[in-house]
Chain A
Amino acid sequence: MSKIVEGLLYSESHEWVKVDGNVAIIGVSDFAQSEMGDITYVDMPSEGDEVTKGEDFGALESVKASSELYSPVSGTVVACNVDLEDAPELINQDPYVNWIIKVEMNDKGELGDLLNSAAYQKFIEK
């Protein structure tokens, strides 16, 4: 049974968003990390890169799998979690503390398309 944190927004591609003013903090859900197994590498964009809602901004890699990360919002990357470069296993340890990127959003309205924790719970139970 994977953990879901209340108060976050979720995408159907298993990213979570924590809204902090105009900035979206983005990570992956516990469900996503457990599906991947031991994560060996997190491919991240650079600060200043533009990301587009629904398009990939990076990927998680394990020994035998790779999974694209899709941006839940559009905007500009203002921070990347550099700790993940040397310790990708942090995502396995706590996917909700260990965010991946922070994005200055172009359109907060896009958040309306995301799921709340209850809806996400239902989604992954399907």
Chain B
Amino acid sequence: MRYYDKLVFELSRDGRSAFSLPEAPAIRLPESVGRKSNLELPSLSEPDVVRHYTNLSQMNFGVDTGFYPLGSCTMKYNPKINEEIPGMFAGIHPLEPDCAVPGIKKIFEGIDRALAELTGMAHFTFEPCAGAHGELTGLMLIRQYHISRGDLARTKIIVPDSAHGTNPASAAVCGLEVVEVKSGPDGLVDVESLKPLLGPQIAGIMMTNPNTLGLFEKNIAQIASLIHGCGGLLYYDGANMNPLLGVVRPGDMGFDVMHLNLHKTFSTPHGGGGPGSGPVGVAPHLVKFLPEFGNEGELRVSGFHGNFGVILKAYAYILMLGKENVPMAGRLATLSANYIKESLKDCYKLPLECICKHEFVFDGLIDDGAHDEVPGATTLDVAKRLLDYGFHAPTIYFPLLFHQALMIEPTETESLETLDAFIEVMRTIAQEAAQDPMLLHTAPHNTPIGRPDETAAARQPVLKWTKSN
């Protein structure tokens, strides 16, 4: 990667343009509603624009560039046929009447049926645009269910301490009070700690299974029966669905509501942070609350029909997988994670010795090289050093249960050769840490920029370009 230091505004030259539109008469608006201030957008030729963004792209790392073992993000390969599909539907307006979009209706029906079969839910709504948006929608459905029964006291939601940060945040946006349940020493929800939390104020529980440590919550049947027994519902956070794809269905485990991250489990590209898609599925008794399936809830969580372009890509992936290949998806993801774990546990601290699912967590280096005045290499240092070797870093400092958490998720689309190369580099880094931790403290050394001053960025924020900065 080469450092390229331009912003598009700095390339601008008055008199250049990259649009081709005919002349038009001036707009006549009353002065009271017309724009008075100058609008400053760059003036560039088309080749300037193309070269600028191509140069920017070359400072970026994606799944197509290399291995991206970012825990809880499921950075699997994004099939290229997926990308060919949305263009076929590009010109369709979202308010076109049903009679004008019979093909689209069939697509929604088809993917709804497929996702229902893969998860054990009855139906899905496709309005949510992302995983956290799905969580919020699912929680709204849970509240709507209780409200429709006149059960207004259910305003608390149980969230495990290992949960993704979006869980408690979504609960708060939905007006629910978060009650945290502790993990036991085995990394699983502690059933004995759960019991005293139950009662008539509990709307439900949000669970990620496998959880953020990559461990299957094997007491799920008992937890489901406890939650249902107290009148609550079970929400399944689909962020970690990948190891269960083709193996286990959330609906069969007793979950009532769930979301899927189509951009994780169903191979649609992450796009540098989005667009994703977070369809929400429900058990049969909740179908009537879904936005598209009746008016009981009268809910709407986004402008139109959700991120249709993303839904198309996920559907293409499901059709490529088919019933023949789907059983291998989760199993191979799980195999790859366990393979890395077993290959590195003599260099990195493995807090919980057991079979993991699609991901697992190390708690830093076994020998961090600390001596005399030189502090040991941290998880951050390991992450930064990995960049030097051409790998993306794992998720770091999450989950919060461990101070030096390093969360690795390889997915099913990486070859044994790639996994072996990653393992070798991780071992090399462990050796480097033991011998010369300074080498890691100052990493990365081979990237377009070195470590940034994040403190200065947050103290005196510069959030837009101006001529002076």
* 1/0 contact string of A34-67 vs chain B (CB within 8 Å): 0000101100000000000000000001111000
Least CB separation from A63: chain B residue: B454
B397 interface residue per 8 A CB criterion: yes
B28: A residues at CB distance < 8 A: none
In the assembled complex, how far is the CB of residue A76 from the closest CB belonging to chain B, in whole angstroms? Answer: 27
A63 touches B455 (CB 8 A): yes
B92 interface residue per 8 A CB criterion: no
A41 touches B459 (CB 8 A): yes
User: In whole angstroms, what is the CA distance A86 to B335 when docked?
Assistant: 52
* 1/0 contact string of B433-469 vs chain A (CB within 8 Å): 0000000000000000000001100110000000000
User: In whole angstroms, what is the CA distance A120 to B458 when docked?
Assistant: 31
A64: B residues at CB distance < 8 A: 397
In the assembled complex, how far is the CB of residue B31 from the closest CB belonging to chain A, in whole angstroms? Answer: 38
State the majority secondary structure of interface residues on B.
Answer: helix
A62: B residues at CB distance < 8 A: 455, 458
A88: B residues at CB distance < 8 A: 459
State the majority secondary structure of interface residues on A.
Answer: mixed
User: Size range of the interface on A?
Assistant: under 10
B397: A residues at CB distance < 8 A: 64
In the assembled complex, how far is the CB of residue A114 from the closest CB belonging to chain B, in whole angstroms? Answer: 26
User: Size range of the interface on B?
Assistant: under 10
User: In whole angstroms, what is the CA distance A62 to B454 when docked?
Assistant: 10
B455: A residues at CB distance < 8 A: 38, 40, 62-63
In the assembled complex, how far is the CB of residue B89 from the closest CB belonging to chain A, in whole angstroms? Answer: 41
B454: A residues at CB distance < 8 A: 63
B459: A residues at CB distance < 8 A: 40-41, 88-89
A89: B residues at CB distance < 8 A: 459
Give chain B interface residues in 372-399, CB to chain A under 8 Å. 397
Give chain A interface residues in 74-88, CB to chain B under 8 Å. 88
User: In whole angstroms, what is the CA distance A64 to B458 when docked?
Assistant: 10
User: In whole angstroms, what is the CA distance A62 to B458 when docked?
Assistant: 8
In the assembled complex, how far is the CB of residue B378 from the closest CB belonging to chain A, in whole angstroms? Answer: 12
In the assembled complex, how far is the CB of residue A92 from the closest CB belonging to chain B, in whole angstroms? Answer: 10
A61: B residues at CB distance < 8 A: 458
User: In whole angstroms, what is the CA distance A56 to B397 when docked?
Assistant: 26
In the assembled complex, how far is the CB of residue B181 from the closest CB belonging to chain A, in whole angstroms? Answer: 21
User: In whole angstroms, what is the CA distance A41 to B459 when docked?
Assistant: 6
In the assembled complex, how far is the CB of residue A65 from the closest CB belonging to chain B, in whole angstroms? Answer: 10
User: In whole angstroms, what is the CA distance A88 to B454 when docked?
Assistant: 15
B458: A residues at CB distance < 8 A: 40-41, 61-63
* 1/0 contact string of B31-62 vs chain A (CB within 8 Å): 00000000000000000000000000000000
Least CB separation from A65: chain B residue: B397
User: In whole angstroms, what is the CA distance A63 to B458 when docked?
Assistant: 7
User: In whole angstroms, what is the CA distance A89 to B458 when docked?
Assistant: 12
Interface centre among A38, A40, A41, A62 (most CB of B within 10 A): A40
User: In whole angstroms, what is the CA distance A61 to B459 when docked?
Assistant: 10
Least CB separation from B460: chain A residue: A86
User: In whole angstroms, what is the CA distance A64 to B455 when docked?
Assistant: 9
User: In whole angstroms, what is the CA distance A41 to B397 when docked?
Assistant: 22
Least CB separation from B454: chain A residue: A63
User: In whole angstroms, what is the CA distance A40 to B459 when docked?
Assistant: 5
In the assembled complex, how far is the CB of residue B259 from the closest CB belonging to chain A, in whole angstroms? Answer: 26
Give chain B interface residues in 95-144, CB to chain A under 8 Å. none
User: In whole angstroms, what is the CA distance A63 to B452 when docked?
Assistant: 12
In the assembled complex, how far is the CB of residue A73 from the closest CB belonging to chain B, in whole angstroms? Answer: 25
User: In whole angstroms, what is the CA distance A63 to B397 when docked?
Assistant: 13
In the assembled complex, how far is the CB of residue A36 from the closest CB belonging to chain B, in whole angstroms? Answer: 11
In the assembled complex, how far is the CB of residue B384 from the closest CB belonging to chain A, in whole angstroms? Answer: 15
In the assembled complex, how far is the CB of residue B417 from the closest CB belonging to chain A, in whole angstroms? Answer: 35
A38: B residues at CB distance < 8 A: 455
In the assembled complex, how far is the CB of residue B399 from the closest CB belonging to chain A, in whole angstroms? Answer: 14
In the assembled complex, how far is the CB of residue A14 from the closest CB belonging to chain B, in whole angstroms? Answer: 19
User: In whole angstroms, what is the CA distance A62 to B459 when docked?
Assistant: 9
In the assembled complex, how far is the CB of residue B423 from the closest CB belonging to chain A, in whole angstroms? Answer: 28
In the assembled complex, how far is the CB of residue B177 from the closest CB belonging to chain A, in whole angstroms? Answer: 15
User: In whole angstroms, what is the CA distance A41 to B460 when docked?
Assistant: 10
In the assembled complex, how far is the CB of residue A35 from the closest CB belonging to chain B, in whole angstroms? Answer: 12
User: In whole angstroms, what is the CA distance A88 to B397 when docked?
Assistant: 25
Least CB separation from A88: chain B residue: B459
User: In whole angstroms, what is the CA distance A21 to B25 when docked?
Assistant: 73
Least CB separation from A89: chain B residue: B459
User: In whole angstroms, what is the CA distance A62 to B397 when docked?
Assistant: 15
Give chain B interface residues in 274-314, CB to chain A under 8 Å. none
A40: B residues at CB distance < 8 A: 455, 458-459
Least CB separation from B458: chain A residue: A40
User: In whole angstroms, what is the CA distance A41 to B454 when docked?
Assistant: 13
In the assembled complex, how far is the CB of residue A94 from the closest CB belonging to chain B, in whole angstroms? Answer: 17
User: In whole angstroms, what is the CA distance A38 to B454 when docked?
Assistant: 10
User: In whole angstroms, what is the CA distance A40 to B454 when docked?
Assistant: 9
User: In whole angstroms, what is the CA distance A40 to B455 when docked?
Assistant: 6
User: In whole angstroms, what is the CA distance A63 to B455 when docked?
Assistant: 6
Between-chain CB contacts (< 8 Å), 14 pairs = A38-B455, A40-B455, A40-B458, A41-B458, A41-B459, A61-B458, A62-B455, A62-B458, A63-B454, A63-B455, A63-B458, A64-B397, A88-B459, A89-B459
Given contacts A38-B455, A40-B459, A61-B458, 8 further A-B contacts (CB under 8 A): A40-B455, A62-B455, A62-B458, A63-B454, A63-B455, A63-B458, A64-B397, A88-B459
Cβ-closest 9 pairs across A and B: A40-B458, A38-B455, A63-B454, A40-B459, A63-B458, A63-B455, A40-B455, A88-B459, A41-B458
